[in-house]
Chain A
Amino acid sequence: MQSVPIVLCWTYIVLPREDLGMPLTLERGALDAEVINEAGRIDLQVLARVLDLSVPELAAIVHASPRTVNKNPDAKSLQPAAQKLVRFMNDLTTALGERRFAIYWLNTPQRELKDETPLAWMRKGRLDEVADYVGAFIRMQPD
């Protein structure tokens, strides 16, 4: 009997473009397979490990308590912020070539962020601002 190779092909995921109500086509990102669990949700304990963050650090980034993240790491309420973080880390990983460089970037002071690190900004609750900054970098938007 001849075997038939099965090729798994990831298609594009169409995500809503919140600001314009237009579809935004994104490729499946590098982190997704590791951090998205069987239920189709991001597991924040796994995400913290993958991004070399502590749970309290990641909890601050997604505006939750460490207790919430430890108790219910894939809570629905945590998903929007976690998706935003995963999305731009995917973009950065692609842009910089490897995940370790994206993680290094998170810990590197940026002149555009008042010489603070993106991680420090996110810990202060500025996830959206860092996401925009990454978006500007990816799109080659002038500062």
Chain B
Amino acid sequence: MKREARKIIETLGQPYRGSFFRNVALQFQESPLDAIGSYEIGGRYNKKGGFQILYAAADLDTALLETGAMLRAPDGSLISVKKKPFVTITIEVDLQNVADLTDPTVRDRLGLREDDLYVVWRDIVAKGEVPVTHRLGNIAHAAGIEALVTPSEKNRGKTNIGIIDTGTGANLLIGSTVKIHDPQGFNAGVSTTITGKKRR
């Protein structure tokens, strides 16, 4: 099954360009593109201690909801949450091999429903099982997919991106870039661009 899914996902990679938003706690302002937190804690598409995924959202509301700076009230309104200082950065993504899971035809090829991507993954992991989103992340990683474009669980109808293995850059192809739009204000020496190193 895993091999089959990998073969399928290998065929689903497409070039992808776009802008995404990411909230970075001020204490991590020296490494705004670092995704070590996702490695240490795990995320929706990567297990704890597996590989890094740099998560970002396609719009600011979603970024705020995904990072807990805003909550959605039962009536649908947004509530602001007191947070430690943070900065919001815009990330320009120019990648060559991205699987877009917001596309129903892509999900169909993988035998997934949109709801499958909204699993309460922490609960599944706590039971000692592997959530479908982690299986998907592992397969995409192994297949050399650079990023997954995904529907947001926190802000339905909106989009996130998870750029795979940004720590080592192992999955980013030569010619692919992830860079902070207008990095003015960051200290000299802070890495504001990730460039791919992998040959196709």
Contacts and interface: CB of A to CB of B under 8 A. Distances in A.
A96 B67 CA distance: 15
A132 B122 CA distance: 10
Contact of B82 (A96, A111, A113, A135): A96
Contacts of A20: 40
Contacts of A94: 84
B43 to A, nearest CB: 7
Contacts of B49: 19
A136 B41 contact: yes
B84 A138 contact: yes
B175 interface: no
Contact of B25 (A111, A126, A129, A140): A140
Interface string B4-36: 000000000000000000011100100000000
Interface residues of A, number: 24
Contact of A132 (B23, B41, B84): B41
A133 B40 contact: no
Nearest to B40: A19
Given A95-B83, A139-B25, A140-B24, A129 B122 contact: yes
Given A112-B122, A114-B123, A143 B44 contact: yes
Given A112-B122, A114-B120, A140 B69 contact: yes
Given A97-B82, A129-B126, A142 B42 contact: no
Interface of A is mostly: helix
B168 to A, nearest CB: 14
Contacts of A141: 37-38, 41, 43, 55, 67
Contact of A126 (B28, B44, B126, B153): B126
A20 B48 CA distance: 12
Contacts of B120: 111-114
B68 A137 contact: yes
8 contacts: A113-B122, A129-B125, A132-B41, A132-B42, A132-B48, A141-B55, A143-B44, A143-B154
Given A97-B82, A139-B37, 10 more contacts: A19-B49, A112-B120, A113-B123, A132-B41, A135-B40, A137-B68, A139-B25, A140-B69, A141-B43, A142-B66
**9 cross-chain pairs, A with B, having the tightest CB-CB distances, nearest first:** A142-B66, A140-B67, A142-B55, A114-B123, A139-B37, A114-B120, A129-B126, A132-B41, A141-B37
